[in-house]
Amino acid sequence: MVRGADKRLRRLEARCPPDPEETARGRRCRLRFKVDMAELIRVSAATAGIDPATISALRVGKEAAAELKALGETPQLARADAEARRWQCEREREAAALSGKPDLREELIAKLDRAGERYADGSNPGPDGTFMQWLAWLSVAPPIEVNAKTGRYRVPPIRSTRWAIDQRCTSEGPS
């Protein structure tokens, strides 16, 4: 009985127009993710002895930062979005667990880790590598760690793509 009601509710929700506030929050969260991951790539590259100025993919972070600024980004808005996003992520994970569908976040991490295996020999995507290739490279890059209070970095014993994504999901990141 409950499953039927859930199915009907999902069908009704699918027909509803998207919530503009939720759409805007999702866009801001994706932009913040790009900014934060670009910063992690920059610092990891520098730690590995790669000049970040040569990495064209880092423009993704610069463009995202500019777009966030144009959208009126504030620390209060970022905190409110992070709280709403945490609640939404929990809901999505519960729904995925109930439906037996895979968690999209876990799929992304696994995909990046698999793609990162090609850099295990110490190579890197190169100056013209895409943003996603550099994200994959993070899974084998020299490790760094962010102090959420000070925004400073240090080298920890291990790190993976999961760590990099979790940093963005569990803190306000290095911004």
The DSSP line for 56-102 is GGGHHHHHHHHHHHHTT--HHHHHHHHHHHHHHHHHHHHHHHHHTPP
* Parent domain of 144: 18-170
Q: What is the pLDDT of residue 76?
A: 92
User: Is residue 10, in this structure, part of any structural domain at all?
Assistant: no
Number of domains in the chain: 1
Contact 24, 17 (CB under 8 A): no
Q: What is the pLDDT of residue 173?
A: 41
User: Is residue 151, in this structure, part of any structural domain at all?
Assistant: yes
Q: What is the pLDDT of residue 157?
A: 37
What are the start-end ranges of the H helices in the chain?
Answer: 2-15, 20-47, 59-70, 75-99, 104-116, 131-137, 161-170
Q: Which amino acid is at 91?
A: R
Q: What is the pLDDT of residue 167?
A: 56
User: Is residue 175, in this structure, part of any structural domain at all?
Assistant: no
Query: CB-hemisphere CA count at 13 Å for 122?
Result: 2
Distance CA 43, CA 153 (A): 8
Mean pLDDT of each 10-residue bin along the chain, 175 residues long = 66 73 88 90 88 95 95 90 83 79 80 89 92 90 68 51 58 42
Distance CA 73, CA 30 (A): 13
**Interhelix angle for 104-116 vs 161-170, to 10°?**
140
Task: For residue 7, give the 3-state DSSP assignment.
Answer: helix
Q: What is the pLDDT of residue 146?
A: 63
User: Is residue 9, in this structure, part of any structural domain at all?
Assistant: no
Task: For residue 154, give the 3-state DSSP assignment.
Answer: strand
Distance CA 77, CA 109 (A): 27
User: Is residue 5, in this structure, part of any structural domain at all?
Assistant: no
User: Is residue 118, in this structure, part of any structural domain at all?
Assistant: yes
Q: What is the pLDDT of residue 150?
A: 65
User: Is residue 107, in this structure, part of any structural domain at all?
Assistant: yes
User: Is residue 112, in this structure, part of any structural domain at all?
Assistant: yes
